[in-house]
Structure 1
Amino acid sequence: MASSTVNRWLRPEVYPLFAAVGVAVGICGAQLIRNICINPEVRVTKENRAAGVLENHAEGEKYAEHALRKFVRNRAPQIMPSVNNFFSKPQI
């Protein structure tokens, strides 16, 4: 019984599926860890929960304006701009 299950799921055809699911789980895990560790609105310890609502706008701004957002802010929303320009702009 176990041998047939292994033979069914461990084929080379399903490796891309495992990779895609693994990447998705990794992204979700990274976001979960990021929110638990550095989100100013999440309080895990009892002492921090007792503090109530904090008006710390600087910490919230630092959390929202992370490095990836700063990196892509002034860039064109394209994945491959050179290929897009090649096919969309007329060549003279």
Structure 2
Amino acid sequence: MHGGILGLICDETMGNLVVLRLGGPALTTSMRMRYLGVVAVGRRYRCTAEATDATNGLITARADVLDEHGAPVATATAHYQPHQHAVEA
């Protein structure tokens, strides 16, 4: 699978977690990917995410893409900026 698709999956998983925590939208300000193994089309994978920190108005999150045995094949970290309307609500 193309690494950009894995990046999209990680960003969506982390971003949705942040949105659920904030109760409103957030913007991805930066993201870093690490590719640890091959991700083959047609196999099962799971993407998990956790919010790890909130400083200077940014929320930091981490995601892991795990193969069917639970071994990581990709990891991501990202920073999210709460959207202005989410902060005001």
Q: Which TM class, normalised by the smaller chain length?
A: under 0.3
Give TM-score, length-normalised by structure 1: 0.25
Higher-Rg member (1/2):
1
Q: Which has the higher strand share?
A: 2
- Give me the TM-score of the superposition, normalised by structure 2: 0.26
Structure with greater proportional helix content: 1
